[in-house]
Structures are given as structure tokens and as C-alpha cells.
Amino acid sequence: MSKSAPDTERELNDFYQEADQRHLIPLWKVTAQLLPAEPQTKVLPYLWKWSDLRRMANRAGDLVPIERGGERRVLGLINPGLGGKYAATHTLWAAVQIVKPGEIAPCHRHTAAAIRFIIEGDRSYTNVNGDKCMMSRGDLVLTPNWSWHDHGCESDQPMIWMDGLDLPLVGDLDAVFFEPYPTHAHPVAQINDSERKFSGPHLKPTWEKPEGRYPPLLNYKWEPTYQALKKIGEGAASPFDDVCFQYLNPHTGGPVLPTIGCYIQMIRPGIHTQAHRQVNSAVYHVFEGRGYSVINGTRFDWERGDFFVVPPWAWHEHANEGKEEAILFSIQDTPVMEALGLYREQPYQEHDGQQKVIGTFES
């Protein structure tokens, strides 16, 4: 005799209850949630104003000393979509850090890799494993994962920079290790050593052999970077990003760090790019100029010093309607996507490739 419908339903309910008690999930109940047709990110597009960041950084400078334990005077950007996770995107940490004249932020190392992009000041340094990298505005400095690093300011003005780390990703992988150096500062073995050896134009010393994943060049100086941007002049560039360079590891020709790609980009006067979307997430810092980006239909106006986030698989395009060039520095998790075979991008097809603006960002 066949069972009645209510009997079957009761048995099925019992089954689901037992599955739940036994910490099992029937996939057929959650397929749509686990396998959306395309990424459903919690990361929101967002923008932080430089006027706020700079004021808060300086205020922290007045109020908070740098000591062992606290280690760094850093204000992290928190993406409002991530439910309180300390992260700018699901994979990337971004922040502003201030070091005042005479201070040394104590030496430590961690398995999260980091970059600094210098916004304000000079005659400051990051000592990376004994190579004292002197830093000024526009320089990109790397601290590869598990490298010792302390920062110092030898100027009479405070130094402010952008920090970018893969900490949210490394945290999700439960791979965070941290160790303080036995003394406050690491001994200095050389000054600007990696730069001296590896910043020749398309030249690398033949006697220097790659050491594992350790990037040979730690400081990408601003002047040659800017020269490269300027050389493009009136020529054609990317329809989506205008003039955009990725910083490279001179040994591998690949990204500067396995988890963080770094980019410098010039949106020339009068350019309004086409929109596209990419599976990676990005944090942008406006190094020079002003303009706006349209992200998923919302217009984000930006000016010098601002930071903004482009989430995974979000349509985005950039515009510069002024007379001066606009320069954007960005960190992106693209190398992770590429290494895992997950990288995708797609051009926007409708409305001649540019989005309809349906709103303007307000914080």
C-alpha cells in the first residue's frame, strides 16, 4: 500500500531535522544559494574623503603614541557591506598610516603581505629585512609576507601613506602568524639596496638570482613611474582604464606580490572610459586630480587623496571632465584570481558601453 502524502511529508521533515542535527546539509535545498549564476558579493562600492582621512590621521597623531603592542598608528577603511569585518573588500585591507617626526614604528613581521603608497612627506623609510627604503610622495614600497619591517620618519613633517594588505584573505585562510622583532628597530644592513640594483630601465643584474617568491625590488620610485605615464601622451590606451600600468616584479614579469596587484593609471583630460566588470575587487587612491567613476550606476565623484572601492563583478567606468590629468593608484586581488584560474572580465554592451547614472554617492 502506498503512503499518504502527509506521511511522506512528515518523513521528509524528520529527515531534514535529522540532517540538521547531524550537521549535514542536503545540497538540493541550497543549490541556488551556493551556485548563483554570477558572484553575489557583499562588498559595497564606497568612497572615503581625503579631508576626513587626513584630519583623522593627524588627530590620531596628536592623541595616540606608537608603542609596542599597538605597533602602528593606522586607520583602516571598513567596507559597510561586510558586516563589521575589518576589511575594505573581502580580500583587501586598506588604510592610512601616520608616522610623526622622530618616531619609529616597531619592527615586526606577519604572514600578511603589505604595500605602502606614499601620500605625504619625505625623508621617511621602511626598513625591510635590513634594506632601508627611503620613501617620498608617489613611491610604492613592498613588505612581502613574513619580512621584518619597521618605519621611521627623519623629516620635520609627519609622513602619511596608504597601507594595502591581503590580511582579510590570509585571515579567511586561517594563516595569520605574527612576530615582534626582539628589539624596537631592525639593524640597517643597506640603504636603498633593492632600488639600486633593480630599478634600471629593463635591466637586471645578471649575478642576482631569484630567492623564492621574494620580490627583488622593494621600492618603485615615483619619478620613473610618472615618466612612463607621460610617455603615452596622445596615443591610444585602454578603452576601460585609459593609461594604466601594472607594477611588475623584475624577476618574473608578474605581479609585485602573489596576492596583491598594484596599478598606476592616468585618466587624461576629456576621457570618459567604457564600462566593464572584473571578478577581482579593487581599492583606489586618487593620487592627483579629480574626476568621477560610475560604479553599478552610481556616480562617485573623487578628488586628490580620496579612496574608493570597486567590488567584484561591479560595472565601472572612469571620467575626467577637467583640464588636468587625474592619476589613480590601486591595489587589486587580481593575482589571486589569475593564479587560481578564476579571472574573468566582461565589457558593458548597452548604451554604447556607458552606464546610465541612476544616483550619486553620498556617505
219 binds ligand 1HN (CB under 6 A): no
Q: Identify whether the C-beta of residue 46 lies closer than 8 Å to the C-beta of residue 306.
A: no
Which residue's CB is nearer to ligand 1HN, number 165 or number 282?
A: 165
Q: Are 106 and 164 in contact (CB under 8 A)?
A: no
If one asks whether residue 149 binds ligand 1HN (CB under 6 A), the answer comes out as yes
Q: Using CB under 6 A, which of 97, 145, 219, 330 touches ligand 1HN?
A: 97
Q: Residue 170 or residue 294: which is nearer to ligand 1HN going by CB?
A: 170
Amino acid in position 9: E
Q: By C-beta, is 185 or 228 nearer to ligand 1HN?
A: 185
Measured from the CB atom, is 114 or 328 closer to ligand 1HN? 114
Longest Cα–Cα distance of the chain, Å, equals: 91
Only segment of 38-46, 160-168, 226-234, 301-309 that touches ligand 1HN (CB under 6 A): 160-168
Q: Which stretch binds ligand 1HN (CB under 6 A): 56-64, 161-169, 192-200, 243-251?
A: 161-169
Element (H, E) at 224: helix 222-231
Q: Are 33 and 296 in contact (CB under 8 A)?
A: no
Q: Name which of 239, 285, 298 is nearest 96 in CA terms.
A: 285
Q: What whole-number distance in Å separates Cα of residue 294 and Cα of residue 317? A: 5
Strands (E), 223-321: 243-246, 261-267, 276-278, 282-288, 290-295, 298-303, 307-310, 316-319
State which residue, 145 or 355, has the beta carbon closest to ligand 1HN: 145
Q: Roughly how many angstroms between the first and final C-alpha of the chain, as a whole number?
A: 65
Q: Does 95 bind ligand 1HN (CB under 6 A)?
A: yes
* CA dist., res. 338 & res. 360, Å (int): 32
CA 359 to chain centre: 25
User: Residue 336: how many CB atoms within 10 A of its CB?
Assistant: 21
Among residues 237, 275, 238, 280, which one has the least CA distance to residue 262?
Answer: 280
Does 57 bind ligand 1HN (CB under 6 A)? Our answer is: no
Name which position in 165, 262, 294, 319 contacts ligand 1HN (CB under 6 A). 165
DSSP 198: H
> Is residue 163 near ligand 1HN by the rule CB under 6 A?
yes
C-alpha cell at 83: 558586516
Instruction: Find the part of the chain contacting ligand 1HN (CB under 6 A) among 5-13, 89-97, 223-231, 233-241.
Output: 89-97
d(CA 250, CA 201): 10
Contact criterion met (CB below 8 Å) for 145 and 83: no
CB of 254 to ligand 1HN, least distance (A): 24
93 in contact with ligand 1HN (CB under 6 A): yes
Beta bridge partners of 267: 326
Q: Give the interface segment with ligand 1HN, choosing from 27-35, 162-170, 196-204, 327-335 (CB under 6 A).
A: 162-170
CB of 118 to ligand 1HN, least distance (A): 12
Between strands 149-153 and 124-128, the pairing is antiparallel
Over the window 106 to 145, marking each residue x when it contacts ligand 1HN by CB under 6 A and - when it does not, the resulting string is ----x---x-------------------------------
Asked if 74 interacts with ligand 1HN (CB under 6 A), we say yes
Least Å from the CB of residue 149 to ligand 1HN: 5
User: Based on CB atoms, which residue is closest to ligand 1HN, 77 or 328?
Assistant: 77
Q: Which residue, 151 or 186, is less far from ligand 1HN as judged by CB? A: 151
- Contact residues: ligand 1HN, CB under 6 A: 72, 74, 93, 95, 97, 110, 114, 149, 151, 163, 165, 167
